[in-house]
Amino acid sequence: MATAFMGYVLPWGQMSFWGATVITNLLSAIPYIGTNLVEWIWGGFSVDKATLTRFFAFHFILPFIIMALAMVHLLFLHETGSNNPTGIPSDTDKIPFHPYYTIKDILGAMLLILTLMLL
């Protein structure tokens, strides 16, 4: 959502300007740090060129950060396994992560790409 919103602001039309103004002003409702946070995001006291530059940088770098966090999440999931809320040992029912789920995810991604290419 954040990446999409920052991309929405990049054309810098009236809708983009007021969208950035309204959405970033929502952060001013946070007690004690809200107004400082809004000024930091804006790069000044109003939405201007500094805001556009910051939104472009965040729009570019945020997908890489999200992808890195997803990979770290999968690494931890692969190393430690899922949590078992019932407390019953389930070692016999486990499926190995790497061959099964990796192939399943790759197959799903390929089907999605194929479907999009056919559209």
- Residue 65 sits in a domain whose CATH number is 1.20.810.10
Residue 3 near residue 59 (C-beta atoms within 8 A): yes
* Assigned domain for 49 exists: yes
Tens of pLDDT, residues 55-106: 999 999 999 999 999 999 988 887 777 777 777 776 667 777 778 888 999 9
Residue 83: predicted pLDDT = 72
Nearest Cα to 60, choosing from 21, 19, 3? 3
The amino acid at 65? I
12-21, 29-38, 96-105, range with the lowest pLDDT: 96-105
CA distance 80 to 64: 24
Specify burial of residue 20 (Cβ count, 10 A radius: 0-12, 13-18, 19+): buried
Residue 91: predicted pLDDT = 67
* Assigned domain for 87 exists: no
* Assigned domain for 44 exists: yes
Count of structural domains within the chain: 1
Q: What percent of the chain has pLDDT over 70?
A: 95
The amino acid at 70? A
Give the domain range for residue 9. 2-82+92-118
* Assigned domain for 18 exists: yes
